[in-house]
Homo-oligomer: A and B are copies of this chain.
Amino acid sequence: MDATVLHAPGDIRLDQVPDPQIIRPTDAVVRVAAACVCGSDLWPYRGISKVSGPRRIGHECIGVVEETGSEVSTVRAGDFVITPFLWSDNTCAHCAVGMQAACANGGGFGGPDRDGDLVDGCQGEFVRVPLADGTLVATPEQPDEAMLPSLLALTDVFVTGWHAAVSARVQPGQTVVVVGDGAVGLSGVLSAAMQGAERIIAMSRHADRQEVATEFGATDLVAERGEEGVARVMELTGGIGADAVLECVGTKESMEQAFASARPGATVGFVGVPYGAEAPITQMFRRNVGLAGGMAPVRGYLDELLPRVWGGEVNPGRVFDKTLPLAEVAEGYRAMDERRAIKVMLRP
């Protein structure tokens, strides 16, 4: 089959690789209907995280179950499924409390599983999904084409924004600041709105992203960054700061922005993989500002969020502003790297 392989920083290709097979009775193989490029895929693409040799990549896809192992019972061939970006048994002690991202038996896509067998990356034609019963969630019916972007957003980006808002403990009526106007930040805006925030200040300086932020429920846009950005947030909040802050980037600057925007007693919900970000413990102590978040336990949120997306209440797929055939995956990475696209959908 065709699958995306990152050969070296900047060198992403669609290669011929072996078709995935059912290896264990708990596996399923999914034929990918749509996949996408994540902001975190850009870290190795840019060489910021190490690339030690050719590697499969991509961790977000939706598609149709092609085949299942003999012990799989909750999905079957032909089902249309959401594939959370981490696979999990959904039964261990961590999964039982909604922490599927820390599943005792789980793992990620694009590398070896716990027995050393490759789990395919999601930017390809097919994917072997371990622990299919605990991982895959089938849609009620086959979806329309128009629904695909929002279903794809459920595999990671939308739910990661949701996790930021949950981690920041957004409450109805609150004022929320969202740092980062990438697809996750925009999803955070949508999530804060769904969780009842009254005022949502989106830190964004790109017109296309400001437009999506506003559609998603942002009430205020702050284009300034650094000290000027903080000053603007303070001006907008009467000098008090935000009740909750969503940090959706992971850099030193974005984390500083987040903490400086938080009022005493607030929580910064963080979901951007930390690259240089630090938790300012003395400031946190003095101002009683908490930090919570991490990798989103997508599977745990799907029982609530899939019906809300399927029912048309929200359209998180709005973050996809470019669709390319899988064969043009390299252009997809370039478009995201150069910020010509917010998020790119790939169609095998």
Residues of A at under 8 Å CB distance from B? Answer: 93-94, 97-99, 101-102, 167, 238, 240, 263-265, 267, 270, 273-274, 277-279, 281-282, 284-295, 297
- Of the listed residues A240, A263, A284, A290, the one surrounded by the most CB atoms of chain B closer than 10 A to its CB is A290
| A98 CA to B263 CA, complexed, in Å | 12
- Flag if A240 contacts B93 (CB, 8 Å): yes
Q: This chain: how many copies in the complex? A: 2
Complex contacts, A297 vs chain B, CB 8 Å: 288
With A273-B285, A274-B281, A279-B284: A101-B292 Cβ-Cβ less than 8 Å: no
Complex contacts, A270 vs chain B, CB 8 Å: 285
- Flag if A265 contacts B102 (CB, 8 Å): yes
- A234 CB to closest chain B CB, in angstroms? 12
Residues of A contacting B: mostly: mixed
| A264 CA to B100 CA, complexed, in Å | 9
Complex contacts, A294 vs chain B, CB 8 Å: 284-289
- Flag if A293 contacts B295 (CB, 8 Å): no
- Flag if B282 contacts A274 (CB, 8 Å): yes
- Flag if A290 contacts B293 (CB, 8 Å): yes
With A278-B281, A290-B167: A265-B98 Cβ-Cβ less than 8 Å: yes
A291 to chain B: closest residue by CB? B291
- Flag if B265 contacts A279 (CB, 8 Å): no
A-B contact pairs, 16 of them (CB 8 A): A93-B238, A97-B265, A98-B265, A99-B265, A101-B264, A102-B264, A267-B292, A274-B282, A284-B293, A285-B293, A285-B294, A285-B295, A286-B294, A288-B293, A290-B292, A290-B293
With A264-B94, A279-B279: A292-B292 Cβ-Cβ less than 8 Å: yes
A237 to chain B: closest residue by CB? B93
7 A-B pairs closest in CB distance: A290-B292, A102-B264, A279-B279, A288-B294, A99-B265, A285-B294, A99-B264
Complex contacts, A273 vs chain B, CB 8 Å: 285
| A289 CA to B270 CA, complexed, in Å | 11
- A116 CB to closest chain B CB, in angstroms? 21
- Of the listed residues A102, A167, A281, the one surrounded by the most CB atoms of chain B closer than 10 A to its CB is A281
| A93 CA to B278 CA, complexed, in Å | 28
- Flag if A281 contacts B279 (CB, 8 Å): yes
Complex contacts, A284 vs chain B, CB 8 Å: 279, 291-294
| A282 CA to B167 CA, complexed, in Å | 16
Given contacts A102-B264, A288-B297, 10 further A-B contacts (CB under 8 A): A94-B263, A94-B264, A167-B288, A167-B290, A267-B292, A281-B291, A284-B292, A285-B294, A288-B293, A292-B292
Complex contacts, A279 vs chain B, CB 8 Å: 278-279, 281, 284, 291
A276 to chain B: closest residue by CB? B281
| A264 CA to B99 CA, complexed, in Å | 7
- A285 CB to closest chain B CB, in angstroms? 4
- A39 CB to closest chain B CB, in angstroms? 14
- Flag if A288 contacts B240 (CB, 8 Å): no
Complex contacts, A94 vs chain B, CB 8 Å: 240, 263-265
Select one of B99, B274, B286 contacting A285, CB under 8 A.
B274
| A295 CA to B286 CA, complexed, in Å | 6
